[in-house]
């Protein structure tokens, strides 16, 4: 079965790896890339998405979305992780393609109305576009098949604060809206993404099997690997964003836990995604909270094989 998806993204090095995986997979049909601020400002995010589409020879809509958190000041961005250009400072030639004139939120709503019950939203950045789409179309959860989110940290520490992961921390109020909506959500947070470090040999293999797309990932990832290898004896990186896409292709690779989620928006705990597993509490405040599924384990060797095999297609 082919999965129709809209990929909501903030490219970003691991976003690039995820986007190329989605383009290469015969089991995924990408209807469009909706961009959001996060790793980089939204204008750069949109430009980078156009560039990735051109590199992959994919003629699909790319939209520019929200550039600010739902509440609070502009983000500080993650150039120290992804480089000044979002691609590890490799000076890639930017695409001259044009953006779709619609906002990211409007595109999501339009596609959901056009393909009711068929689309999976895969969100791998802050959740402002999804929150705004819910405001534009309150019936959106009835029109969307399901939602896969790379973000959060249910049972492990955060990577921005002791309790918060970057995507959720970047727009906690939007995340609260999205996680409270009445649609089927599976969360791929640091619980699973940090459990699967990738060696430099992994990106070398991607380049070997796919010199264009894999070669881009290999080249851009050197900056990314340098960041993740600080204070470690081994050189590693973490490709967070492709995991929800891998789940669509082969869900048997993952173990999931179901629970009730609360997203914190107070200043101290902003962005915390606290999850109470089913049966772990009798508190009404938790039992009334939205139920989601959380990925907690992945078969790392098989996941790596899936990425390489898909890039080789």
Active site residues per annotation:
10, 240
Helix (H) or strand (E) holding 46: helix 42-55
The closest alpha carbon to 199, from 172, 218, 215, belongs to: 218
CA 237 – CA 157 distance, rounded (Å):
18
Q: Which two tokens stand for residue 236?
A: 């590693």
Nearest to residue 307, comparing CAs of 61, 282, 299, 287?
299
Dig out the tokens for 253 from the structure. Answer: 């690779």
Length of the chain: 313
Tokens of 126: 């802050």
CB atoms within 10 A of CB 249: 17
Strand order in the sheet with 291-298: 62-64, 28-35, 3-9, 119-123, 146-150, 185-188, 291-298, 254-263, 273-277
Angle between helices 128-136 and 104-114 (to 10 degrees): 60
Cα–Cα distance measured from residue 105 to residue 267, given in angstroms and rounded to the nearest whole number: 27
């Amino acid at each position: 079965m082919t999965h129709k998806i809209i990929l909501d993204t903030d490219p970003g090095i691991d976003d690039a790896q995820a986007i190329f995986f989605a383009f290469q997979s015969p089991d995924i049909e990408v209807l469009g890339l909706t961009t959001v601020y996060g790793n980089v400002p939204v204008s750069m995010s949109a430009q980078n998405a156009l560039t990735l589409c051109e590199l992959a020879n994919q003629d699909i809509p790319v939209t520019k979305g929200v550039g600010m958190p739902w509440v609070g000041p502009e983000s500080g961005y993650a150039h120290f992780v992804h480089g000044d250009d979002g691609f590890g400072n490799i000076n890639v030639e930017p695409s001259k393609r044009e953006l779709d004139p619609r906002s990211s939120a409007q595109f999501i709503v339009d596609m959901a109305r056009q393909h009711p019950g068929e689309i999976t939203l895969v969100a791998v950045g802050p959740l402002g576009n999804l929150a705004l789409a819910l405001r534009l179309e309150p019936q959106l959860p009835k029109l969307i098949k399901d939602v896969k989110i790379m973000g959060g940290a249910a049972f492990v520490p955060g990577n921005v604060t002791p309790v918060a992961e970057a995507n959720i921390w970047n727009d906690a109020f939007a995340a609260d809206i999205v996680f409270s909506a009445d649609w089927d959500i599976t969360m791929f947070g640091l619980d699973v993404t940090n459990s699967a470090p990738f060696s430099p040999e992994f990106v070398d293999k991607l380049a070997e099997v796919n010199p264009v797309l894999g070669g881009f990932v290999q080249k851009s990832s050197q900056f990314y690997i340098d960041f993740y290898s600080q204070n470690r004896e081994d050189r590693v990186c973490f490709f967070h964003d492709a995991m929800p896409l891998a789940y669509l292709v082969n869900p048997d690779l993952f173990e999931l836990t179901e629970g009730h989620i609360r997203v914190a928006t107070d200043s101290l705990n902003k962005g915390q995604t606290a999850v109470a597993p089913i049966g772990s509490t009798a508190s009404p405040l938790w039992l009334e909270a939205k139920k989601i599924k959380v990925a907690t384990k992945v078969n790392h060797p098989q996941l790596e094989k899936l990425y390489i095999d898909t890039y080789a297609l």
